[in-house]
Structure 1
Amino acid sequence: MNRLKYIAVLAFLGTVGISELSAQIKEEQLILNRKREPEVKKIEKKKTSVVQEKNYPPDNKKKEDSLNLKYDIVNVPPVSDFKTTEIQGEDISPKFSNDYQSNYFRLGYGNYGKFLADANVSGKVQDNVEVGADVHYLSTSGLKKEYDWSSKQDQAKIGGYANIYTEKGKFNIDANYTFNNYNYYGIYALTPPNNDVDLEQKVNKFSVNGYYDHYSNDILNNVRVKSYFLSDNFGASENYANVDVNLSKHDFSVYDDITANGDLGINLETVNSKFDILNKNTNNQFNFTLSPKVTFYKGDSYLLIGSDFSFLNSKNFSNVTEESKNNKFYWFPKAEVLVAAADEFKFYGGIDGGLKLNTYGNLLDENPFLISDLVLTPTETKYHFYFGLKGDVDQTFKYDVNAGFSKVNNAQFFYNNNLFDTNISADRQGYDYANTFSSIYDNGTLMEVKGDLQAFPMENLTVDAGLHFMKYKLDNLDEVYYKPLFQFNLGAKYTMLEKKLNLGFKAYFVTDRTSNAYEVSNIAAVPNYTTVENKNEKVGGYADLNLSAEYKIHKNFSIFALGNNLLNAKYQNYLGYKVLGVQFLGGVKITF
């Protein structure tokens, strides 16, 4: 009977893999556990928690969590907690849920010269103090058969952390250094250059983060600090700092069975970005936000009323433009109501908005092929109306479906760059082959529909799915660049053979995206190239299938195998940049 069950599960995974294929994007999954304040390690995808946390959570934290059952979309970390580069496959290895060992070392090797080495080591120096270190490295030789020039990449992350538990609160401190070395290999317009052309870009980032969670929500709730310094191969530099303080008075009685929480958020965010090539843009942004809110609870239902008050100071100047300054005060409404008819049906709706500071570091996370000279403008979500339905059906099926409409000013998009020097005899820099992108902005509206679910149809099997539909209507741009109309993902995880074997499956489907593109021609009568822009270039949609398996031979030793982009689709996330084809990687993992 057990064999028939295993065969049925494998057949299910195979059928899903054929019918619903996937795209190589950052993996997103519905988090269905009750929400609690994230630690710094969760924000930075680091493994910094100890197995048991002294005095945590206290009763008032448990109640706060239970009343705020939320469904959040977050990046699901791979076994190594390491985010792959743009042309890598998605590492979707499932973790062993019964693995209590927090220390591990892993080595893997695959085609395209892919090499993986990572480790996490931690230990208690006192009963209430844990320290640890993370080291991760990943490299690939790139698409040697597709390009005569180099498309290799390698990146690493080296970090240390400490968790300190006291009678009144919990501290997390995290410091790490990352580097990402890659090439601007997406040359589509010019005649291919020599194979020895230097297309290299290097990005270095040093981050320090801190988080304090006060167990009692009386006056002080928590404090979070995030900061980084970034530099690249072309002299760019960026300094970022963010301090977020939450003050609160929770669980006070209002009337009979109605209780309330009062909160005041204080946020200071600053970023200074300086570029050293082309127009040599310099961007300075500072945002101060006060976020008062009051939430009234009755059972599992609640009503939230609040506002965001923001003051923005920003300025930009370059070699070709005079200094522009902006000092502006913003008010954003905030309200949400949730009616819990039952655990299976919870209706909610509300309105919110806010400012988002666009930084070089954050935009590089989305598109590493940006030119090292950007105009950085904050994006204002003037208002965002939303409504939805979520629920939990007998702990076997959980879902969240919602729709929203937003008014957005300075919505950010990526835009293909032309040649910077049209002289035929130019000695070109690596970014001057129509192979980079800039950040552009426009005002408009956005309509969105999102759906996420997670199901547990049988023991040891979890199935998740998500969809995202978004439709922009812009004031000035004729096209919406690099924003697909529809995205869908489907995944499954299964544990078998007495939890010694973990199987994983993830599929993505993304519809066509629009970009601009340039056609470059050489007219012998003139000394310059002639370029023509196409503002409606289609970057094809894609489907991508990913599978993984990990088998525990011994409690301290396991072997793993990953298969990515199994359809061998040479699609492009950004014009000119083909991703790796079918990828296989295998290796060993030691835990202790």
Structure 2
Amino acid sequence: MNRRIQLLSILFLGISPFAFSQIKEEKLILNKKREPEVKKIEKKKTSVETIKNYPPEEKSQNPVQYTITDVPAVSDFKTSTIQGEDVTPKFDGNAQNNYFQFGMGNYGKILADANISTTLENKIEVGADVHVLSTQGLKKEYAWDSKQSSASLGAFLNAYGDKGKFNINAEYGLDNYNYYGIYALEPAADVDLKQKTNQFKVNGYYDFYSNEILNDVRVKSSFLKDHFDAQENQVSILANLSKHAVEIGKSDIVLNADLGVGLETVRTDFAIRDKNSSNFFNTGLTPKVTFAKGESYLTLGSSFAFLNGKHSNGLMEEQMKSNKTYWFPQAEFQFAASKEFKFYGGVDGGLKLNTYGDLLQQNPFILSDQMLRPTETKYHFYVGLRGDFDEMIKYDFSAGFGKMRDIMFFKANDLFNYDVIERSAYNFANTFSAIYDDGNVSDIKGSIQYFPLENLILDGEVLFRKYDLKNYENIYNAPLISAGIGAKYTMLDKKLLLGFKGIFASDRTTNSYALEAIQTTPNIIYQSTEDTNDKVGGYADLNLSAEYKIHKNFSIFALGNNLLSSKYQTYKGYKVLGAQVLGGVKITF
């Protein structure tokens, strides 16, 4: 009987993922008895977080609301994109807190990964995390260099006191890669295409167990520099004030009052081309009140932003200055007809400062000289349905419509100089720049988790997002539909862990350039023709992983990436690695 169940589970693992779909950038997490893969999940609190093993009970009695959000992965492995994402599930259990692993694969891929932590006296926990990944790139596709390496080194400290917990972490990250996506020229094999970024982050967080007035305080800082001497410094402070669990008469209605106060400053200076420089100082206030009864609630609030901005470049005689005040609506309701059906809806908006560091996370092949503007979501209405069927199926589906100003997306750059002998690394029509436009956005998204067996977890998500822009006919380099499916299966008394992840995207519109030599002596001089309706094809990227515990402290693993060997592009000219196999060992202690 057990063998039949195992065979059925394996068959289920191979077939069931294709019945669901999932948003690539976002993942849903809900209360559950069994633990799904949650490495890309971050908790967003409308009230407070329950701290296990740490009273007082005021904290544990306040519900925690979860929302869909995007959190960069602390990766074990990477997908087929040279700048990839973590697709590998992990064994549950504290044994994973301290480990070292090493692996090698084709394309010259090398992985080294370690995490170490220990608890000292007075409930103080200290630890470190190290991650190194490198690949030789696409030597058979490009005559020039496409290799890449990345490394991160982090340290953290957690302290638990009588009134709250404190966390501080520091991280240094290095990305060393090339602008290899050249599609309109045939440069020499030894051409210099190097780009490199260094970023140092320090974050601090203090969370009070009780919600009396001061709830938590967060401080974040980032310092970035790249190969072309661009520099960016960013600091933000956020304090949450709150008064929760105020009973209103005998109606069983509970009142929660919150006020978020935030400060953020960003200074960015570029040293090439137009030498853009920007300096933003943003102050934000977010008051809100929540009336809750059981799992139903109504939240009413507002968001205010006070932005001071300065901008200059090498072409401007004077610095441009601006001061502006923004107001955004904030409201949400949920009607819990039952645990299976919870109807919700609301409206929100906000101001997002687009930083050079954020742009590099989305597109590492951007030019090291950008005009930075904040993106304003004037309003975004949404309605949805979510629920939980007996801890077996959990889902969340919603649709929304919003109006935005200065929507940021990426356009391909032309040659910057048409008649030079030696070209800079970014002067091969191989980089991108941020552009902005006003418009409307419509979105439909869904996320689902399914637990058919105790040792099998299936999940899926899908996102449909359409932009109607004021000046551009199409938004560039953004798919209309993106989706993902995943599975995690343990067997052989939890010694074997199998994982599956599929990532899908539809075609993307982009602009591109065709170059023609109109003079060959003494220098080659080009003229260019722009195509504003070029297409970058969609893709299906399938990934499998396996880890087998030979001993409680020793295991072997294997990962297959892009198993269909899809020759797709992340951006115009930037092909990804083909089918990859990586294997290695892991030691836990």
Equivalent residue number for residue 115 of structure 1: 110
Q: Counterpart amino acid of 2:117?
A: S
Pick from 342, 353, 365: which aligns with 2:361? 365
Residues 135-170 of structure 1: per-residue CA shift (max 9 Å, x gap): 110000000000011000001001111000000000
Q: What's the CA shift for 1:14?
A: 2.8
TM-aligned CA deviation for residue 44 of structure 1: 9.7
Q: Aligned pair 1:138/2:136, yes or no?
A: no
What are the equivalent positions in structure 2 for 1:501-516 lying under 5 Å apart?
A: 501-516=496-511
Q: Which residue of 2 aligns with 1:10?
A: 10
Partner of 2:244: 250
Tell me what 1:147 maps to. 142
Deviation at 1:54, TM superposition (A): 7.0
Structure 2 residues not aligned, in runs of 5+: 33-38, 44-49
Distance 1:22 1:146 in 2: 32
For 1:5, what is the secondary structure of its paired residue? helix
Measured in 1, the distance between the counterparts of 2:319 and 2:445 equals 41
Cα distance in 2, alignment partners of residues 340 and 56 from structure 1:
30
Q: What is the CA-CA distance between 1:3 and the residue it aligns to?
A: 1.8
Structure 1 residues 81-96: aligned runs within 5 Å? 86-87=81-82, 90-96=85-91
Q: Specify the code of the residue in structure 2 equivalent to 1:519.
A: A
- Give the TM-score of the pair, scaled to structure 2: 0.93
Instruction: Report what 1:483 is aligned to.
Output: 478
Query: Do 1:175 and 1:208's aligned partners in 2 also have CA atoms closer than 8 Å?
Result: yes
Q: Which amino acid aligns with 1:15?
A: I
Structure 2 CA distance for aligned equivalents of residues 27 and 305 of structure 1 = 27
1:101 is displaced (CA, Å) by 4.6
Aligned-residue RMSD, C-alpha: 2.2
* Aligned amino acid, residue 584 of structure 1: V
Equivalent residue letter for 2:60: K
| Counterpart-to-counterpart distance in 2, 1:302 and 1:483 | 35
TM-score (norm 1): 0.93
Identify unmatched segments of 5+ residues in structure 1. Answer: 35-40, 46-51
SS in 1 for 2:120: strand
Deviation at 1:254, TM superposition (A): 1.8
Alpha-carbon distance in structure 1 between the residues aligned to 2:73 and 2:550:
23
Shift in Å at residue 88 of structure 1? 5.3
Tell me the equivalent position of 1:49: none
**Aligned to 1:459, which of 440, 451, 454?**
454
Shift of 1:479: 1.5
Aligned residue type for 2:110 = F
Residues of 2 paired with 1:132 and 1:9: CA distance?
Answer: 37
The residue type equivalent to 1:129 in the other structure is I
Looking at structure 1, the residues matched to 459 and 42 of structure 2 have their Cα atoms a distance apart, in angstroms, of 23
Is 1:383 aligned to 2:379, yes or no? yes
Q: How does 1:236-247 map to 2 (within 5 A)?
A: 236-247=230-241
SS at match of 1:30: coil
Could you tell me how far apart the structure 2 residues matched to 1:400 and 1:340 are? 13
Q: 1:174 aligns with which of 169, 172, 184?
A: 169
Matched-pair contact (CA < 8 Å) for 2:192–2:424? yes
Instruction: Please tell me whether the aligned partners of residues 112 and 142 of structure 1 are also in contact (alpha carbons under 8 angstroms).
Output: yes
| 1:59 alignment counterpart | 57
Please state how far the C-alpha of 1:5 moved relative to its aligned partner.
1.9
Task: Say if 1:528 and 1:589 are closer, same or farther in 2 by CA, change over 3 A.
Answer: same
Shift of 1:28: 4.5
Matched, 1:260 2:258: no
Deviation at 1:181, TM superposition (A): 0.1
Among candidates 414, 417, 427, match of residue 418 of structure 1: 414
Q: Which amino acid aligns with 1:106?
A: Q
How many Å separate the matches in 1 of 2:40 and 2:578? 31
The answer (yes or no) to whether the contact 2:29–2:41 under 8 Å persists in 1 is no
The structural deviation recorded for 1:493 is 0.6
1:7 is aligned with what amino acid?
L
1:403 is aligned with what amino acid?
A
Counterpart of 2:334, as a letter, is: L
Question: Post-superposition shift, 1:209?
Answer: 0.2
Tell me the CA shift for residue 85 of structure 1: 8.9
Letter in 1 for 2:535: K
Give 1:199's aligned residue.
193
- Equivalents in 1 of 2:508, 2:96: separation in Å? 43
1:390-469 equivalences under 5 Å are: 390-423=386-419, 425-469=420-464
2:299–2:332 CA contact under 8 A, matched in 1:
yes
Note closer, same or farther for the CA distance 1:559–1:134 as it changes in structure 2 (3 Å cut).
Answer: same
Where does residue 523 of structure 1 map in the other structure? 518
Q: Distance in 2 between matches of 1:99 and 1:116?
A: 22
Matches within 5 A, 1:316-331: 316-321=311-316, 322-331=318-327
Kindly tell me the number of residue pairs found equivalent between the two proteins.
573
Give the one of 560, 569, 579 matched to 1:582. Answer: 579
Q: 1:275 aligns with which of 266, 270, 277?
A: 270
Post-superposition shift, 1:324? 1.9
Does the Cα contact within 8 Å between 1:120 and 1:134 map onto a contact in 2?
A: yes
Task: Letter of the 2:325 partner, please give it.
Answer: F
Give per-residue Cα distances to partners, 1:417-449, cap 9 Å, x unaligned: 0000011x4310111000000000000000000
Deviation string, structure 1 residues 75-112 (Cα, Å, up to 9, x no partner): 484663x7779415654222111444510000010000
Residue matched to 2:46: none
